[in-house]
Structure 1
Amino acid sequence: MGNFDKNKNHILRKLEINDDELLGKGVESYVYAYGKNQVVRILKQGDLNYLESLRKLQILISKSNLSVKTPLITKIEEINGTFYIFEERFSGKNLSKIFDKFSDNQKEKIMLSYFDLLGDVIKVNVKEFDFGQIGLTKDKISSNRWSDFVCKKVKQKTDQVISQLGKDVEDFRGRLDLFNNLATTKLRGVDKKLVHGDYFYDNIMVNERAEITGILDFSGWTTVVGDFRLDICGSIIFLEHSQLFIEFQKLLTERAKDRYGNGIEYYIDFYRLYYSLFLSDSFLYLKPLYDWCVKNLNNGELWKRVQR
């Protein structure tokens, strides 16, 4: 048992939390129910400076009059270097856990609302920040240009698995150079908007009345100041990671075209490649996700479309 697992068990015993109160776990943390109205999030990484910067971001978002709830840290604690935080518990459940209960009409309504919520996220005023990450993470990158951030972040992430990508992706270095050139030319004049960065179906909460009650997981690692079209792309392409949602990709693509014009399809393709590069370090922690990245990076038709 590693130090994190030992510390996690210590925290659970201290708070008298049982294993069956686990609400979810991911790359960054484990989340447990705590009492009737709170959750405890035990972080795999992070320090006090990061958590304080995250809390400042959460306060900024909470004061921006979004139509649903967003996370807000109420207390920060630490045991032997492992930090855990307390947050208000949202009503409802993660979408995938409740989706099958709804009628076809309700499902379509939820998916359109899920997409339309991105119009709320971009209302948060982030003009004072540089492009890039806001939270004080160890991997923080920021810049005065969005395209510069994108290229630097892709390099940071792919460098961790560069030898594996060289084996698995045809002409990887050539395609990486092409991506960087496209980023420089296609990402000019981007306005500063808050970008969730990990906007997918299980980062929203839904109640029994088919109403979205909250958005989860604004994070120092993925939430950035940048191009709102990154979230548009994520909201659509990540649907293919579940058979529950893949059929709604066409619906949301049409919604995106109605809202932002036909040109949005180009950026859905472009940011699919960005996410495939950004998440390529998943070779180290989640092989199915890495395989998805490689599949996209080896898609010759996709590369042809982004060069048009």
Structure 2
Amino acid sequence: MTDDIEILQRLGHADAALLGAGNEARVYAMGPDHVVRIMKAGATLRAAEARAAMLDEIARHAADLPFRTPEVERVVAMEGRVLAIEKRLPGVPVGQLLEHLQGEERRNLLENYLGAARHIGGIGLVRDRFGPLLDGEGLRSSSWNGFLKARLATSARACPDDLRPAVLAAAGTALPEPERPALVHLDYFPGNVLAENGSVSAVLDFGPATLLGDDRMEAWSAVAYLDPEISPQARPEDREQALDWLRRCGLLADYEKARRWLAAYWSFAADDEALMGWCRRILQDQAGGSSLPLGR
């Protein structure tokens, strides 16, 4: 199987810097204007083309928002590997900025990061069912809670055995039912958000987790993912600011139930040690947790 270095050499970018890596792909810089996303072995051209079509639809509907979303210029297969050439988006990851920003500058960036999460639901993709945008036909449902329950049944089949009872218990907890499906990134955390000049400039990595659901879930996940296991750059005062933001938005009451569902959802990701640490902490808190000790 051709490795990433060979792919980059063939593209004429042998020294390309690695910008990021996830479960599905690694992303490398191709000069100031483009990046190449090299999918992990086993990825299919069909799946990459479906992702590109989804991103094109999102970008068209996000044109009036204050930040950019990914745009794929072409998808190709090369020596048994699948890769996508995408426009390079401006900014620095919010997680990286949180490593050094202080005072009002830090508070303002965090407020902007949280506010941008609420804009995602305004990206007007229209569907009549709740559930994943990519694949997952069997998980789509006419109700939000129908999807939530079905998705946790899938996670329960893949999660570590000791977490399965807690995951199934979370599936029995209902969340508020929204009026209509809205776009939810569901993987919105400081590593997937770019900023420049104190404001969010781009939101990255719309992918397999992206779905049509309740746009309040984006706000709840943006706050939940500031927990220390997921965002070690975030400080206790950042998490307190985020909880206050939820309170000001009128979204605090259902936050703990939503955070528990998110932990149950991600319980399938057993190869991500930090994420699994978070899932275990949330799910093994039999009382369901409290909003206050997020900095522990």
Provide TM-score, normalisation by structure 2. Answer: 0.87
Closer/same/farther in 2, CA of residues 142 and 19 from structure 1, 3 Å limit: farther
1:41 paired residue number? 37
Alpha-carbon distance in structure 1 between the residues aligned to 2:138 and 2:6: 30
Letter paired with 1:230: M
- Corresponding residue number in structure 1 for 2:154: 156
Q: Does 1:51 align with 2:39?
A: no
Equivalent position of 2:17 in the other structure = 21
Task: Tell me which amino acid in the other structure corresponds to 2:129.
Answer: D
Answer whether contact 2:114 2:242 (CA < 8 A) is retained: yes
Is 2:291 the counterpart of 1:302?
no
Q: 1:84 to 1:193 in 2, by over 3 A?
A: same
Give the equivalent residue in structure 2 for 1:276: 263
Q: Which amino acid aligns with 1:252?
A: A
Matches within 5 A, 1:52-91: 52-64=49-61, 65-91=64-90
Change (3 A) 1:73 1:20: closer
Could you tell me which residue of structure 1 aligns to residue 200 of structure 2? 212
Alignment map for 1:205-284 (pairs within 5 Å): 205-207=194-196, 209-219=197-207, 221-240=208-227, 241-247=230-236, 248-259=238-249, 261=250, 264-283=251-270
The structure 1 segments of at least 4 consecutive aligned residues displaced by more than 6 Å after TM superposition are none
- 8 Å CA contact 1:129–1:225 kept in 2: the answer is no
Cα-to-partner distance string for 1:136-194 (whole Å, 9 max, x where unaligned) = 36x87322221111111111122023xx333xx4xx53x444423323xx343452110
Distance 1:304 1:99 in 2: 25
Cα displacement string for residues 27-71 of structure 1 (whole angstroms, at most 9, x for unaligned residues) = 111000012200000112542332333223222222222111110
Structure 2: distance between partners of 1:46 and 1:195: 24
Q: Provide the rounded CA distance (Å) in 1 between the counterparts of 2:3 and 2:248.
A: 49
Contact 1:71 1:215 in 2 (8 A): yes
* Aligned equivalent of 1:99: 98
Name the residue aligned to 1:114.
113
- Aligned match for 1:180, one of 168, 171, 174: 171
Q: State the secondary structure of the residue aligned to 2:157.
A: helix
> How much has 1:101 moved relative to structure 2?
4.3
Distance 1:38 1:181 in 2: 44
TM-superposed CA distance for 1:103, in Å, is 3.6
Cα distance 1:153–1:107, how it changes in 2: closer, same or farther (>3 A)?
Answer: same
Distance in 1 (CA, whole Å) between partners of 2:80 and 2:131 is: 27
Instruction: Specify the code of the residue in structure 1 equivalent to 2:198.
Output: A
- Indicate conservation of the 8 Å contact 1:102/1:210, yes or no: no
Contact 2:153 2:171 in 1 (8 A): no
Unaligned runs of 5+ in 1: none
| Matched letter for residue 212 of structure 1 | V
Percent identity between the two aligned chains: 20
The one-letter code sitting in structure 2 at the alignment partner of 1:23 is L
Within 5 Å, which residues of 2 pair with 1:165-176? 165-166=161-162, 169=163, 172-173=164-165, 175-176=166-167
**Taking structure 1 as reference, are residues 199 and 275 closer, same or farther at Cα in structure 2, changes over 3 Å only?**
same
User: Could you say what secondary structure the match of 1:239 adopts?
Assistant: coil
What is the distance in 2 between the residues matched to 1:265 and 1:120?
18
Q: Deviations over 1:186-230 (max 9, x none)?
A: 3434521100110101111122x22321111111x1100001122
Rounded Cα–Cα distance in structure 2 between residues aligned with 1:298 and 1:103: 34
- Return the offset for 1:129: 4.6
CA RMSD of aligned residues (A): 2.3
The number of aligned residues is 285
The 1-side partners of 2:46 and 2:130 are apart by 20
C-alpha spacing 1:267/1:43, structure 2 compared with 1 (3 Å): farther
Q: Is the 8 A contact 2:128 2:142 kept in 1?
A: no
C-alpha contact 2:181 2:212 (8 A) present in aligned 1: yes
Distance 2:289 2:161 in 1: 16
